[in-house]
Amino acid sequence: MKKEAGAARGARGGGGPAGRVASSRGGRARSGPRVPPAASQPPAFAPADPEDATAAARALWFVLLALALARAALAFVPGMWWWGANTLRFVAPAWGWTLWAVAAAMLIPSVARAATPVFSRGGDALVAHPALVALAGAAIAFLVWSLPDRLYFVGDFMMRLGSALGRVPPENVFPQATPLDLLLHYQLPVWMRSQLAVEPLITERALGAIKAALLAGLGVAYARALRLNGGAALAAAAIVIFGGYLGLFTGFGKALGELVVITAGIGVCAMWMVLEGRGVLPMGVTLALGILLHRSGALLLVPAAVAWVAWFRRFGGGGRWKRWDVALALALPAGALAFAMPRMLATFTGTDREHLALGSAAQGGAGLAGMLTALVSRVHLADALDHVLLLSPLAVALPFVAVPLLRHARRRPDAAVAAAFALIATLTILLVHPRQGELRDWDVFAPSAVALSLALAWVVGETVRAAPRHAWLAPAVVCAALAPAVVWIGQGTDVPRGVARVRAYLIEEPRRADPERAQLWAWLGVRHMADQRREAAAEAYREAAAIAPSPRFLVEWAISEMDLGHTREAQAILLRAAARGPNMAGVWLTLAKITADLGEVEDARRYARRGLELDPKNRAAADLLRKLGSADSLAAAPMRNPAR
């Protein structure tokens, strides 16, 4: 403990070499080359025991090796149990296997040792020179810009884009969105389109590139905050930067993308606070923004609270807690929480309650017992692991590497912060069941994946710092994080392979719940229609309607049959839709048009009148009636039930 306390005093400016040099000659530092800040400051605490760090390093290498072998094997294994790790199966071989081979080569100790000096110098340069950080940010921004999402599969991508294009009112499809979310992802794209003729998708891609650059800068800042240098700094930064969450920056417009950056920012501010005593105001501002952006931002209160407690214990003496910046840093998130609380509560008792209940419904249970059954089900646990493998590619190593370091970390405030991030991430991934399914709604877990990456970066940084003999692990970690993340975001540009992945998820084991399957078949129908694959679209809509014969799916199926020239089949399908949704004006109008095309004028008139009854302001129905030669009032012959 004395050793740790001395290191901590040195880190605050008095005990380390940099502090002694600065205190000599009247407080002036000696002239000479500028030493990188991260390299000039000793660790805030004594490094871990070398034997413990060596055990952690060995565990890390074994996990990296197992991950590499698993990703290679799953490229040839049918089934979608491990959809988070089988991305090599659905990418162009030259692209995916080249990246995999580079990462695998770095797991050979002799190869990694040969590359270690280059990675070490790169890490030192990155933490020392802001220009290089800006260059790294530009490179990551270029990466996501050059790999745009053309699949439009994740979350409510299509609805968000349609809303910005003026096709769908935002309050109809995402009423839970916060004002700040709507400002960034609705009002801004609409303004850019109307004033500057910039399409909403281009606006979202530009915003994504900016967020990617910010994430890169925060990854480096996190390594600096941990006082890492060399390969350890590069490895920690790479873990934070290269996650599957980069896929949110390739065109998807939703506040969860900003929350990814906010989560990384909270990580940086928390480490500043507990290790250096600074960053309280940036913490307050960043936390307030996270709460205002998305309701999930409230989860960041947990690591922030841990950081505040540690700050008060280590640096709050001498009346520092009375400063104006401390008061403001506490008041900002409190005010943001008070402002957002009514909307949060409404969403938690509505949409988010459904997120928690879906799992129990899928398992055939109800209430708390059903939720617990769903929590430990084989499929759900596999899906939770898949989210980790997809979004934070190395985070499965966290428990194996952290266990040898527990003795060293149990009293360290920075370790407590890392543990808090891991806790909120684990609970979120285990408890939430997305409404549109695990494969499609992976965006829900992106901020949690960043939290896992922050925890893992701390563990890996401590391991490499305390086990210099295993410094060659740094190149292996960098490449092992980079390869799967880049392969994943590149998959979004390849529509045929992306569609094949969704189809495999539908038809291969494990069998998914009917509501999820119906939604995915319907999405395939939309995707095939956009690609002018009419027969495939009709097949997909047929499957969706067979699982869940809702009026919506039946109408979409009927329209796809019409596109194939199957008018009589489309009429029969629409009659089923009208029977299931007798109060849907659009169904009756579509049925009237098809019936008129078949020459059955009297029936077409009845269907058009029914549509006009339900929607008296529907000009299309009135025009159709006029074309059919009917000027009758709505008190014409009574309707017959078409289903009879």
3-state secondary structure 148-179: CCCCCCCCCHHHHHHHHCCCCCHHHHCCCCCH
Question: Cα–chain-centroid distance for residue 564?
Answer: 38
**Between helices 255-276 and 200-225, what is the axis angle to 10°?**
20
Calculated CA dihedral for residues 578, 593, 552, 554, nearest 10 degrees: 70
In this predicted structure, what is the pLDDT of residue 619? 84
Pick from 155, 192, 187: nearest CA to 171:
187
Q: Mind giving me the DSSP string for 269-328?
A: HHHHHHHHS--HHHHHHHHHHHHHH-GGGGGGHHHHHHHHHHHHHHH-TTTGGGSHHHHH
CATH architecture assignment, domain 496-627: Alpha Horseshoe (1.25)
- Integer angstrom CA distances of residue 496 from 79, 503, 641: 18, 11, 43
Would you list the domain boundaries of the chain? Answer: 2-33, 50-495, 496-627
Average confidence score pLDDT of the chain: 87
pLDDT under 70: residue ranges of the chain: 1-40, 171-173, 350-371, 630-644
In this predicted structure, what is the pLDDT of residue 621? 81
In this predicted structure, what is the pLDDT of residue 618? 83
Integer Cα distance of 13 and 424 in angstroms: 33
DSSP 404: G
